[in-house]
Amino acid sequence: EVIDDATLMSQLQLDPAGQLLGAQCSGALVLARLGLLDGVPACTDLTTKPWVEQAGIDVLNQPFFARDNVATAGGCLASQYLAFWLIARLVGIEAAQEALHYVAPVGEKEDYVSRAMRNVSPYLLEAGAVI
């Protein structure tokens, strides 16, 4: 319903040339409708996947993907990858690692950071971020 509301959608002033854009789950459908995923694959949740595909977007079977200044994550628990990517892009990889380590469960901190690095660092390299 939201993406069919032209008045609401016109309020979104998103510009990947000057902003970092992140979308999780159905947010990928919003980015697709705004034309911000043209030619770019995306991640989303399994419920939203058919609609994102109907919008002409190739949906990846992975939790995170980024190209340039646009990132998508699929699944509620993939939010940590979006946060990690944003912090790494804005402040640096060490700050992202420290932030995730801080909020990760006791006994799993290193695993969380390692998993985030595995899922996000390839896209940081593509963006020219210092690792």
pLDDT in tens, the chain (131 residues): 778 778 888 888 899 999 999 999 999 999 999 999 999 999 999 999 999 999 999 999 999 999 999 999 999 999 999 999 999 999 999 999 999 999 999 999 999 999 999 999 999 976 665 55
Which pLDDT score is estimated for 129? 59
The answer to whether the CB of 101 falls within 8 A of the CB of 63 is no
Which pLDDT score is estimated for 72? 99
Residue 34 φ/ψ, nearest 5 degrees: -80, 0
DSSP 69-126: TEEEE-SGGGHHHHHHHHHHHHT-HHHHHHHHHHHSPTT-HHHHHHHHHHHHHHHHHH
Ordered structural domains, the chain, with CATH: 2-11+20-126 (3.40.50.880)
